[in-house]
Amino acid sequence: MSNEAYEAVIGLEVHTHLMTKSKLFCGCSTEFGRAPNENVCPVCMGMPGVLPVLNRRAVELAVRAGLAAHCEISPRSIFDRKSYFYPDLPKNYQISQYETPVCRGGYIEIQSGDGAPKKIRLVRIHIEEDAGKNIHEADASLVDFNRSCVPLIEIVSEPDIRSAAEASAYLHELRGILRYIEASDGRMEEGSFRCDVNVSVRKRGVSELGVKTEIKNLNSFRFVEKAIEYEVNRQIATLESGSRIAQETHLWDPVREETRPMRSKEFANDYRYFPEPDLPPLLIPPAMVEEIRRAMPELPSDRRARYIRDFGLSSYEAGVLTAERETADYFEGASVGLKNRRTAANWVMTEVLRIANETGQQISEALPSAREAGALLAMVEAQQISLNAAKTAFAAMIKSRKSAVETVAELGLAQVSDTVAIASACDKLLAAEPEKLAEYRAGRDKLFGFFVGQVMKAMGGKANPKVINEILKQKLAG
């Protein structure tokens, strides 16, 4: 069996909550983590006689997503009812969009394996309401409707993705964009960013598509990659053994690390979509699109270009710093008063990201403010403290939440640049080490490091190494 003879054809369907305060069709809160059935009302509970009223902010955020992904914004789209019975769906239909999504076409640009940019085209982005949540117990199921009617967009890609790595790159880019434009918080673990994957394989050079399977239950980037790798290999093995792929829905089992077919529903999907009679068409005139475009925050790709152009950062550095909006904001906040933006760039890429990774927290939770980080780095630039001392101070600031100035003073980290004190330490050392001095003057240049170290030791490690170097050179020269 040769996997090389096949190529994978992958399309992704991403559902993400929109960051609104209230629900899509009623004034209930969308807050996550509340006690069950606290954020509910007759509208999101599907009581008879209620009417949905559309949340303008949800529409704006959906249009933002469409603009960020280069979509065409539909001037007129309608809502449809998608009917099915499930206990988490109180109306027995979901209000969604079927034939006329709010956004069509567009693309997300990723870096493919060889580093070249690749466009993953989108089919559509549409607005819909979320369902409630079921909790399955031994003898019964429990239903919480807090999530019912929370606004979602579904972003459907064309089957342009060819590997698990590309799928991951696409998801990271898409999530980054949605977070930048404040449409989504992108939290997969809380279920506010969910992904279904459509996978098929075909022999290389063949243009028609193979039979696809859909994989659900993927709540982390790692699972998406692993599930695709598993499913592609499974499909190739199935075809090589002479069997056929069944068109079915699989669930990813993160414990056994395999996909398994869901017990097929009694009858195939038959959602009987029809226009939602309770909602007039959604009209988005060009003026509204322009207004939304003007209010759009800077996109990650624009920021990357700006960092390379204005700050002289490399494409790699710009990529790391802009991967998350929070990181980019922190970098810019910390570098405001610095002579060299690179001082802050290096600091963020090493210290800040390392600490955020280790603690698993958001930068805003785990670290001192960008302003205080900037104050600390300004002291490094002014040679008032060493880079190592800055690291020590930063670690202390994380715990104490005190300012950079206070922390450096408290810990006595300020560098001694006092030439008289350093010269005196140098004199004492040379007087105490006449043999080494003679050796050095006879040509053993390597001893220079020894002298620097000894002076630094005598100064309690706080002397400015640059000043030590200068003074020592003079004195050693005699």
Q: Which residues of the chain form contacts with other proteins (CB under 8 A)?
A: 20-22, 26-29, 34-41, 45, 53-59, 76, 78-79, 83, 85-87, 134-145, 262-263, 266-267, 270, 272, 275, 277, 279-283
Residue 137 or 358: which CB sits closer to other proteins?
A: 137
Residue 135 or 432: which CB sits closer to other proteins?
A: 135
Asked whether 308 and 314 are in contact (CB, 8 A), the reply is yes
CA pseudo-torsion sign 10, 254, 18, 154: positive
The single-letter code of the amino acid at 63 is V
Give least dist CB 397 to other proteins, A: 36
Element containing residue 62 per DSSP (H, E) = helix 56-68
Query: For 182-323, where are the E strands, in sequence order?
Result: 193-203, 213-218, 249-253, 258-261, 274-275, 282-283
Give least dist CB 180 to other proteins, A: 19
Q: Pairing relation of β-strands 282-283 and 76-77?
A: antiparallel
CA atoms within 13 A on the CB side of 123: 15
- CB neighbours of 378 closer than 8 A, spacing ≥ 6? 337, 338
* 3-state secondary structure (DSSP) of residue 220: coil
Angle at 278 between CA 274 and CA 284, to 5 degrees: 85
Residue 88 or 406: which CB sits closer to other proteins?
A: 88
Give least dist CB 251 to other proteins, A: 9
Give least dist CB 197 to other proteins, A: 19
Give least dist CB 174 to other proteins, A: 23
Give least dist CB 1 to other proteins, A: 33
Asked whether 166 and 112 are in contact (CB, 8 A), the reply is yes
The length of the chain, given as a count of residues: 478
Residue 33 or 117: which CB sits closer to other proteins?
A: 33
Residue 272 or 444: which CB sits closer to other proteins?
A: 272
Residue 53 or 237: which CB sits closer to other proteins?
A: 53
Residue 83 or 238: which CB sits closer to other proteins?
A: 83
Give least dist CB 30 to other proteins, A: 8
Give least dist CB 344 to other proteins, A: 35
Cα 477 to Cα 256: distance, rounded to the nearest angstrom: 70
Cα 251 to Cα 286: distance, rounded to the nearest angstrom: 42
Residue 250 or 304: which CB sits closer to other proteins?
A: 250
Asked whether 79 and 275 are in contact (CB, 8 A), the reply is yes
Give least dist CB 282 to other proteins, A: 5
Asked whether 52 and 207 are in contact (CB, 8 A), the reply is no
Q: Return the closest-CA partner of residue 261 out of 275, 246, 276.
A: 246
Residue 263 or 446: which CB sits closer to other proteins?
A: 263
Asked whether 299 and 325 are in contact (CB, 8 A), the reply is no
